[in-house]
Structure 1
Amino acid sequence: MTTTEKDRDILARTLWGEARGEGLEGQIAVAWTIRNRVFDGKSKSWWGEGYAGVCLKPWQFSCWNQNDPNYAYLSGDKPIPAGQFAQAQRAADQVMSGAVPDPTGGATHYYATTMPKPPAWAAKATQTLRLGQHVFFKEVP
């Protein structure tokens, strides 16, 4: 699969929006859930095509919802702090290139433990990792 600079930029923005407080290891884990969706083995994936398509799929990554406070930064209306964004770009590069192994065990979903309650789908899914303030899952019904 050919990736573009747009894929890298959208993935890094998503990592910043979803996991900027998690450090590099946590951002890598979130990036792997996205990569696992990108490479789901289907020729026409429900998740979207490529990194940008998966990240921008409506209602999949809340940071891209227009009512989310992160959206103004991700859309370019406000500048993302350069140092924070550089880390997200490093995580995106490492995962897109396959330079780091998947710490999530094949997860395609996660949720932040800061949510008032876990999403309903988590009850029937297989938990693969708990890292920082995120819990990762695969085999989500």
Structure 2
Amino acid sequence: MTAPEILALTLRAEAGDRPVRAIEALAALVVNRARQAAVDAAALARFAPGGAMGETWPALLARACRAPFLFGCWMPRHPRRAALLEAIRAEDGDLAICRRVAARAAAGVLPDPTEGATHWHAAEVLPGWALGQVPSAEIGGLVFYRLG
């Protein structure tokens, strides 16, 4: 599976039912994680574990999607895993949108409306790590943070 396809499936499972702007923002977050992983060993270990410094851009993008605990859809027992499996089986309009967004992100031409965010959550939940943090953006029901 190619890196843009892994990104598209991640976007579909995590935000496919949200507005296109939210899907684009989530794709930008993945790009931000991969870019940080490309230049910083600590970020590599956190956002693209198993990768190596100097690894190719597509590989880092795929690793940023599949890193443990960063996107629930890739965890076997997570509730969003069903959405990922459904996205793999279905060829729907939402997946087509996510593929177009993923292609732009992989090509490096997707603008970043999150101001460099590396963390996110749905607006309807407030995870413990977000308490006291100031969001960098709120887009389409998703809240984004640029954490150090």
Q: TM-score, normalised by structure 1?
A: 0.83
CA 1:77–1:134: 2 relative to 1, 3 Å: closer
> Is 1:133 matched with 2:131?
no
CA distance in 1, matches of 2:71, 2:24: 15
Structure-to-structure mapping, 1:117-132, within 5 angstroms = 118-132=126-140
CA 1:79–1:58: 2 relative to 1, 3 Å: same
Aligned to 2:2: 6
Aligned to 1:94: 104
Residue-by-residue CA offset, 1:18-64 (whole Å, 9 max, x unaligned): 10111221111001111100000215702114111111111110111
Aligned with 1:36 (options 15, 32, 35): 32
CA 1:77–1:101: 2 relative to 1, 3 Å: closer
Percent of matched pairs sharing the same residue:
30
Tell me the amino acid that sits aligned with residue 130 of structure 1: E
Task: Tell whether the 8 Å contact from 2:74 to 2:81 is kept in structure 1 after alignment.
Answer: yes
Tell me the amino acid that sits aligned with residue 139 of structure 1: L
Shift of 1:114: 2.6
CA distance in 2, matches of 1:42, 1:82: 37
Higher relative contact order (CA 8 A, sep 6+): 2
CA 1:79–1:98: 2 relative to 1, 3 Å: same
Pick the structure with more helix per residue.
Answer: 2
CA 1:90–1:78: 2 relative to 1, 3 Å: closer
Decide which moves more: 77-86 or 121-130: 77-86
Aligned with 2:72 (options 48, 62, 72): 62
Shift of 1:131: 1.0
Question: Number of matched residues?
Answer: 134
Decide which moves more: 32-41 or 121-130: 121-130
Task: Tell whether the 8 Å contact from 2:121 to 2:144 is kept in structure 1 after alignment.
Answer: yes
Shift of 1:110: 0.5
